[in-house]
Amino acid sequence: MSQTVDRALSILPLLAQGPADLGQVADRLGVHKSTALRLLRTLHDHGLVYRQQDQRYRLGARLFALAQEAVENLDVRDVAHPHLVTLNEQIGHTVHLAVYEESEVLYIDKVESRYPVRMYSRIGKPVAITVAAVAKLLLGDLPEHERRAIADKLDYPMYTSRSTPNAAAFLKELAAVREQGWATDLGGHEESINCIGAPIRGAAGRVVAAMSVSAPNVVVTAEELLTLLPLVRRTADAISREYSGSGTPH
């Protein structure tokens, strides 16, 4: 693995948190200023990093363009989006679409709730992997040894009293989810928010994405939310059919 490139790439997440000047970058990389300068210059030449008027660096437009390309390659999103909108029109709550990649679960699409009380989430943000319904669906479909390896490596933060406490409980939950073909998160991340989710499968039957519907307690109770499960599953199945029907990507 290339040290120079490794250092250069470490700058990107650092700048994503906000602009930083040369000294800060050098410090956080643990390298000399001149080294950081050369790395930043190279990133700059490629447009991934931009230098604002006060000389601080931030992420550049090129990165956004690339990100755009990257997400277009995730073509599940194209197929799913209209279905998600339709579902949102029917039930009103927030609808999410997520994928698993490289030990992370990311939201890649979202349709906002029509209700004034909304849950906080962000497209592109890694999901709370140990509790989210979509995470359980995506991880649950992995081969047994991978599931175990991932479960062992994870932390299990107790967001609430109902969060998944440890690897054993998580694996058990994954098995249950895999078996039943849907998942929930009842107050496991935020005490007052419930979630139900269903898997989206590709042509080979593998889970390629997962969708979920989230709503706060104050809008609907968990029981009421669960009555929507058949509708959510039908939507997920419709997306699966369309996605696997269209055949090969690109």
Partner DNA sequence: AATGAGTGTTGCACATGATGCAACGACGAG
Partner DNA sequence: CTCGTCGTTGCATCATGTGCAACACTCATT
Of 4, 9, 5, 41, residue with least CA distance to 22? 41
How far apart are the C-alpha atoms of 155 and 237, rounded to whole Å?
Answer: 32
Cβ proximity to DNA, 56 vs 58, nearer residue = 56
The single residue among 12, 16, 18, 21 that binds DNA, judged by CB under 7 A, is 21
Q: Kindly state whether residue 58 participates in binding a second copy, applying the rule CB under 8 A.
A: yes
Q: Is 18 in the site for a second copy (CB under 8 A)?
A: yes
Residue 74's binding partner among a second copy, DNA, none (Cβ under 5 to 8 angstroms by kind) is a second copy
Nearer to a second copy, 100 or 170 (CB): 100
Structure tokens that stand for 227 in this block: 């009555």
Beta bridge mates, 185: 195
In DSSP terms, 207 is beta-bridged to: 201
Check: CB of residue 123 under 8 Å from CB of residue 143. no
Whole-angstrom CA distances from 57 to 5, 8, 21, 124, 212 are 18, 13, 6, 22, 37
Question: What CA–CA distance (Å, rounded) separates 88 from 235?
Answer: 11
Decide: residue 135, CB within 10 A, 0-12 exposed, 13-18 middle, 19+ buried: buried
Site for DNA in 23-52 (CB under 7 A): 23, 31-35, 37-39
Contact status: 117 vs a second copy (CB under 8 A) = no
- Interface residue with a second copy, options 21, 27, 32, 65 (CB under 8 A): 65
Distance set, CA 207 to CA 1, 51, 53 (Å):
31, 41, 46
Single residue of 26, 63, 200, 210 touching a second copy by CB under 8 A: 63
Determine contact, residues 158/147, Cβ cutoff 8 Å: no
Identify the helix (H) or strand (E) that includes residue 58: strand 57-59
**Shortest reach from residue 163's CB to DNA, in Å:** 37
Beta-carbon count within 10 A of 211 CB: 27
Nearer to a second copy, 63 or 225 (CB): 63
Binders of DNA among residues 52 to 81 (CB under 7 A) are 55-56
> Of 7 and 77, which has the nearer Cβ to DNA?
7
218 binds, among a second copy, DNA, none (CB under 5 to 8 A by kind): none
Question: Could you list the residues that contact DNA (CB under 7 A)?
Answer: 2-7, 21-23, 31-35, 37-39, 55-56, 250
Question: Could you list the residues that contact a second copy (CB under 8 A)?
Answer: 1-2, 4-6, 8-10, 12-13, 15-19, 38-39, 41-48, 50-54, 58-74, 78-79, 82-83, 99, 101-102, 104, 106, 108, 122-126, 203, 242, 244-247, 249-250
